[in-house]
Structure 1
Amino acid sequence: MSRWAALPAELDPRVRQLVVRLRRLKDHSGLSLRQLAARTGYSEKSWERYLGGRSLAPAEAVEALARATGENPSRLLALHEVAAEAWATRRAESPPEATKPTGTPAPETAATTTTTATATTTSTSTSTEPRSPGRSLRVALAAGAVALVLAVATAVLLVVRLGGDTAQRPAASLAATAASAATPPTASAARPERPYTCRVERIDGRWFAGLSRTEGAILANGHAGPEVAEAQCLLRRAGVSPGGIDGIFGPLTERAVRRVQQRSGLVEDGIIGPHTWKALRR
């Protein structure tokens, strides 16, 4: 059994599900990377990238691996189709650094540059002239005034970027928005817990909890929302405790998903996909 390195944390759960499945097929076949390369026509380096989650294996490579390991390629190709869509979406949302504009500095950068220039000018003038108590006080007051102006400008800039309609807001609203922007959000504010109520009923031979009717959403550790709460209700109905019904996919929910997958003969990856939804709803 190969000892695989951990997959990248930022890898989409749909891509992660495909890579985990490919790894297990390779392990169960007993083939080395060299033997796998000889049977599929793809190099060892390519398979290292595919099985390491650094690049997405093409559909032809997935099909070749399935045939080399005696697996029906239809399910793998279905997983690949979902993973390819997720991979393309992630690349579209995160363009390479080389494509980002670099000519004009951002407003924050300009403000930082101004602060640095002001500090440099002040340091130069005070180092080349004799110091006196009165002059030091004037320099300190001037530096404080510059810092205050920059702080106000930064607060207004944050309000503009967050609201987009500051010209129509009253001054009190602007001050409140700037104050809230300057205060770092806590963990509970970033991910507020919302209590959900399970209303489990059987409709047309399938179980529903009244929170979501999805049968194909991909959910994994870190996701949140009514779909997660729906899965938690169904896990509890199946006799496996996911913790609280809070709509947050955490370690307890993942552990419960793995138990249901084990009982249903599915891949135990802790990720809810179409097959796990089917097992939960039947």
Structure 2
Amino acid sequence: MSRYKALSDELDPCVRQLVERLRQLKDHGELTMRHLAAKTGYSVKSWERYLGGTSLPPREALEALARITGTDPVPLLALHEIAADTWVGRRAGAVVEPRPTTQGQEQEQEPVTLIGPTTLPAIAPTPGRFPHIALTTGVVALAVALVAALLLMLRLDEDMTQAAVAAPPSTAAASPSPSYTCRITRIDGSWSAGINRGRNDEIVYGATGADVAEAQCLLRRAGISPGGIDGMFGPLTLRAVKTFQQRAGLVVDGMLGPRSWKALRG
């Protein structure tokens, strides 16, 4: 399972639940950040923010993750709707409401947190203080307008960034992940799965391609399950490699080098 940074204690429980569910889907599907970027169209940096709880993923990213992991998207999207409401509320900051002053005194300020639509309470005017009250009301109204404009600009900027990242997936979506079939044969005293033409190149955790699929087939032939034959060197394949190395009396480092290949093909 991937190691993640601990989520902030200040994170809303609904957002925390969504992030933890995304992490579970990624680990269950044995997906690396590069896999997520290639198969969903959202960059590695975007997924780091989504899985770190610092940015709320868009609905399209959740639908793409559900599709590649074979998960029903409806519960995930429902959780996203709840998290989105709390996320917008969390990003609203505090504004400063000036305190009315009397003549000869300097104006002081103290923070006032505005939650939801702000309605200013009616203040009974005091003789000689009406200009100060009007000034205070105008400053507070201006502060509320500035906060609303800032939130709108942040939302538009995030949507534009996600749209720019999502543009290239047409090429990635057009090329589905290759499928591999094990054809175990004995050639010149060595076992082969017929996938990588007998190459013994070193491969490590996170690698993808025919060499990984060849190793997965040979691990299965040795009686050790690497998960699926999908060409992805994920957690299950890593565990299978270490088990095989330990059984064969090799250095248990989780990497398939010349000695491990020789033992697999022997």
Please say whether Structure 1 and Structure 2 have the same fold, judged by a TM-score greater than 0.5.
no
Give the structure with the higher percent helix: 1
Task: Give the alignment's TM-score, normalised by structure 1.
Answer: 0.37
Q: With structure 2 as the length reference, what TM-score do the two structures score? A: 0.38
